[in-house]
Chains A and B, each alone.
Chain A
Amino acid sequence: MPDTAASLPEPVGETRGTRRLGLLGRLRHVEPVALVWLMLLLALLFLVVAPLAKLFAVSFETQGTGEFTLSNYVAAYGRARYVDALVNSLTLGLASATLSVALAVPMAWAVSRTDMPGKGLTWGVVMGAFVMPPYLGAVGWMLLAGPNSGAVNRFWRWATGAEGPLFNIFSFEGLALVIALHSFPLVFIFVKAALDLISSEMEDAANILGAGTWTTMRKVSLPLVWPAILGAFVVVFLETIALFGTPALIGIPARINVVTTQLWQFFEYPVRVEVAAAYAMPLLLITVGMIVAQKLFLARKGFVSQTGKGGERRPIKLGPWRWLLFTWCALVGLLSVVMPLGILVQASFAKAWGRGISLDNFTLRNYQHLIFEHEMALTSIWNTVWFSASAATMAVLIALLVAYIVQRRLVPFGDALGFLAMAPFVIPGIVMAIGFYAAYASPPVALYGTAAIIIFAFTARFLPIAYANSAAAVRTVHPEMEEAARILGSGRLHAIAHVTAPLLKRALLGGWLIVFIVATRELSAAIFLVGPRTRTMSVLLYDLSEAGNFEVLAAFGGLLLLITLVLVGIGMKLVGRDFMLRRT
């Protein structure tokens, strides 16, 4: 029955026993993968290497002439105000990270290990705080705890007759609290994942030796999750020092200068990108240094995280204490989600937000103004959607191809591609944006004010998320799945399209959505790169806050929130309830 002798491909060797093939024979066997590899390398050079290299180079250049100089560094650190900003950033990072750990660890322990009631509600709180764009919480807290007209402070004065405010959000403590109220979900996710791996038997072993519940928790459970807590602490610290939105909204009115807001000031007219580049270096070095140090530290013996679930797990019975824990979770939920969103929604429907909830204060005017009259609102929404969609598509495509090439070991030095795709992970968004500005804003590339530069910056910024996601997905598809297609006559690209891609569809969709969602709220990378016609929602929200019309600002926040909720809802429906919380 084999009838293929006649249809065999052309002879490859000229004669039997020819050992080496001619050049033509070789060319015929070149796989398209070599070409793809080259294109990916170029893309990664463009997206990751060139902006960073340019940032570095520009920090040593004289403005205009491009001559070598150290004067940018002198300018960047020559004033006490600039150095103070760096110190402020570090202090703020420590404060927010500490606060986040304090907020989240009891919650994680309660959900993972105890019989506390309302665990579903706690999950909801964490999820809510996590998906909420950070600056929305900031806007909410400006309305809640502004020193004079903040709702909390007005209530305080009314209730106690006191003169001063209960709490002024425009302060260092206020800034740290607002950031922590948004960052604590990261700690929760890390620590809960670690706690989930501890078996009840480990705790029983301590109980039987006479340790009570609290001693056991302190002496056994907590030490086992130290690496997770530390890891989460570092992540929150790094996120905080790279954060732009909240420090700009709260810090600038409070005259608290941090690195990111200082960088922003270097971009005010006249733009001093060389000084900004020099000033951004410590932020970059600290981030790279801490992530490398953390990797080394966690790799040390004794701190390897546990793998696999061992033994039986029973929730610890807390008795009446469980209500205390529940109160704690509820309080965090109130402060992080319910109160800021509540006041935001209230203000968005109010004629004057300070007058509280009443029928004669109700209006749709704010929304009406944004949707029908404001020249930028709808444009910015549309910009945000298509910038984010383009960036998510590009990031997932590049990440998928790189992950595939790396894991299938298709080319020598494939790992270098993987390294480049992960590299933006250690680059603060704001640093990346300045790199893009330095490299591509001015001629010869001249992308300033175009959609392209924002899309490219978003792509580069979120490439690591897409890459981690794609790499995990590709790992689940056995190479033999594809080989089975190839041996039946399908080329490599055909096999990827018809076998691998369909198997990866769901995972890739999840990755795409995550990148899309985080891109829709990205502020720090966008604010340096937007032009007059390319403003995104996040940038416009910041503009509105500077204009000081809080009702319109709140309404725009309401629109942002609505869009986020719709997107997250789609994601949960398509990919699963916890798709944004999965650790990748």
Chain B
Amino acid sequence: MSRLSLRGLTKAYSKMVVVDHIDLTLNEGEFVSLLGPSGCGKTTTLRMIAGFVEPTDGTVEMGGKVISTPGSVLPPERRQMSMIFQSYAIWPNMTVAENVGFGLKLRNLPAAEVQRRVAEILEVVQMGHLHGRYPAELSGGQQQRVALARAIVVKPAVLLLDEPLSNLDANLREEMRFEIRRLHNEFRITTVYVTHDQAEAMATSDRIAVMHAGRIEQVDAPHLLYTKPKTRFVAGFIGRTNLLEAKLANGEIGFDGVAFQASQVDASLNGLSRPVLLSVRPQSIGLYRAQPASAAGRPVVPGIVTQRVFLGETWDYVVQPQSSCTKLRVTAPPLQVHEVGEAVWLEFDPHQMALVE
């Protein structure tokens, strides 16, 4: 059952459209990320879902009921949602327990019940021993846990998170990613998670909506975004890639003396002749000293190494296929060392390519 739907959701400030006809549906208990570069409209979208911002067009629906539409916005306090803010927004004048119990008290629960549920959730986020502390006495990570506990304890219909980890240092960020996913596995709260960090989105989400300039470019499971990006932007934003101009003709795709069956890339591809754009991941290209034994459907071409960078976990080579001036990024394990100027062989795997717009 769908819990939250955005339909044609749009926000414009004066003439500037910052969120542009977004459609997105979340299933009950689903964890979806809005991923995109800074300034693409993620926060605005999230704040429209929360009811802090009125849309210029389109609707937000929850459980089948319209809760936001131009001219009429159900106020945030009546949406049964929770939100975690980039600044944490932990109230400095209240203790940890008071912060966490705030939402429960508003629901008129008896004091004993509030206390029990606060204690319970603080245990879950491993903050039980600090319930009497004031926020100023907590580290960034601990404040984050308080914010999480405060948002989850009210059992919200939808949980919204706006770049919750961006103020933490790298190690803590990684730890909290898993913490957030763990809490989701435990409580199954329908969640919208805003981030500009793809690793964060990948680690936490069931699906990721990639946003660019106010639009959603693609919504898919993390591994599909990587292996089958649908647009040029997604291909470039999620991981690194080579974007190659190729030609589709007679059911075959060809570029730089390489040709293969179009059906290997995408079974549904129709046969119309036209130029196409291919995304080829650096990891999907094999790099060999000598010509490899050609496997079926895996084209092989000779090339020259023109640049190289050692990144620690991998080598990053730039290889120029003979008979063309295309430059391809290819990654190889640390032990596979090639000198600049060396002649090498490239092996392509069409199954790992994607056709992008």
Q: How far is the CB of A476 from chain B (nearest CB, A)?
A: 11
Chain B residues within 8 Å of chain A by Cβ, number: 53
B50→A9 contact, CB < 8 A: no
**B67: nearest residue on chain A (CB-CB)?**
A12
Known: A487-B82, A488-B102. A12 touches B156 (CB 8 A): no
B188→A1 contact, CB < 8 A: yes
| In-complex Cβ contact of A12 among B66, B102, B107, B187 (8 A) | B66
Contact with B along A1-31 (1 / 0, CB 8 A): 1111101110111001111110001100101
Is B157 at the interface (CB under 8 A from chain A)? yes
Is A483 at the interface (CB under 8 A from chain B)? yes
B52→A483 contact, CB < 8 A: yes
Is A373 at the interface (CB under 8 A from chain B)? no
Is B63 at the interface (CB under 8 A from chain A)? yes
Question: Which residues from B are CB-within-8-Å of A484?
Answer: 83, 85, 89-91, 147, 150
**A27: nearest residue on chain B (CB-CB)?**
B72
Question: Which residues from A are CB-within-8-Å of B89?
Answer: 478, 480-481, 483-484
Is B75 at the interface (CB under 8 A from chain A)? yes
A490→B66 contact, CB < 8 A: no
B87→A480 contact, CB < 8 A: yes
Is B286 at the interface (CB under 8 A from chain A)? no
A487→B77 contact, CB < 8 A: yes
Q: How far is the CA of A486 from the CA of B70 in the complex (A)?
A: 20
Chain A residues within 8 Å of chain B by Cβ, number: 39
Most chain B CB inside 10 Å of its own CB: which residue of A1, A3, A25, A492: A1
Is B155 at the interface (CB under 8 A from chain A)? yes
**A499: nearest residue on chain B (CB-CB)?**
B91
Most chain A CB inside 10 Å of its own CB: which residue of B76, B86, B155: B76
> In the complex, which residues 207-227 of chain A have their Cβ closer than 8 Å to any Cβ of chain B?
none
Q: How far is the CA of A384 from the CA of B29 in the complex (A)?
A: 63
Question: Which residues from A are CB-within-8-Å of B154?
Answer: 488-489
Q: How far is the CB of B245 from chain A (nearest CB, A)?
A: 42
Is B103 at the interface (CB under 8 A from chain A)? yes
Known: A4-B156, A480-B89. A488 touches B82 (CB 8 A): yes
B106→A21 contact, CB < 8 A: no
Interface of A is mostly: loop
Is B79 at the interface (CB under 8 A from chain A)? yes
Q: How far is the CB of A474 from chain B (nearest CB, A)?
A: 16
Give the total number of A-B pairs whose CB atoms are below 8 A apart: 136
Q: How far is the CA of A556 from the CA of B65 in the complex (A)?
A: 71
Most chain A CB inside 10 Å of its own CB: which residue of B59, B72, B87: B72
B74→A489 contact, CB < 8 A: no
> In the complex, which residues 16-70 of chain B have their Cβ closer than 8 Å to any Cβ of chain A?
28-29, 50-52, 59, 61-67, 69-70
| In-complex Cβ contact of A487 among B7, B29, B69, B83 (8 A) | B83
Q: How far is the CB of A213 from chain B (nearest CB, A)?
A: 44
Is A503 at the interface (CB under 8 A from chain B)? yes
A483→B72 contact, CB < 8 A: no
Question: Which residues from B are CB-within-8-Å of A502?
Answer: 93
Q: How far is the CB of B161 from chain A (nearest CB, A)?
A: 12
**A486: nearest residue on chain B (CB-CB)?**
B76
Q: How far is the CB of A80 from chain B (nearest CB, A)?
A: 58
Question: Which residues from A are CB-within-8-Å of B80?
Answer: 4, 7-9, 489
B83→A4 contact, CB < 8 A: no
| In-complex Cβ contact of A489 among B65, B77, B188 (8 A) | B77
Q: How far is the CB of B55 from chain A (nearest CB, A)?
A: 11
B106→A488 contact, CB < 8 A: yes
Question: Which residues from A are CB-within-8-Å of B160?
Answer: 487
Q: How far is the CB of B249 from chain A (nearest CB, A)?
A: 44
> In the complex, which residues 466-520 of chain A have their Cβ closer than 8 Å to any Cβ of chain B?
478, 480-481, 483-492, 494, 498-499, 502-503
A487→B155 contact, CB < 8 A: no
Is B71 at the interface (CB under 8 A from chain A)? yes
| In-complex Cβ contact of B65 among A4, A13, A20 (8 A) | A13
Question: Which residues from B are CB-within-8-Å of A494?
Answer: 77, 106
Question: Which residues from B are CB-within-8-Å of A12?
Answer: 65-67, 72, 74
B188→A490 contact, CB < 8 A: no
Q: How far is the CB of A536 from chain B (nearest CB, A)?
A: 37
Q: How far is the CB of B3 from chain A (nearest CB, A)?
A: 8
A residues touching B (Cβ–Cβ < 8 Å)?
Answer: 1-5, 7-9, 11-13, 16-21, 25-26, 29, 31, 478, 480-481, 483-492, 494, 498-499, 502-503
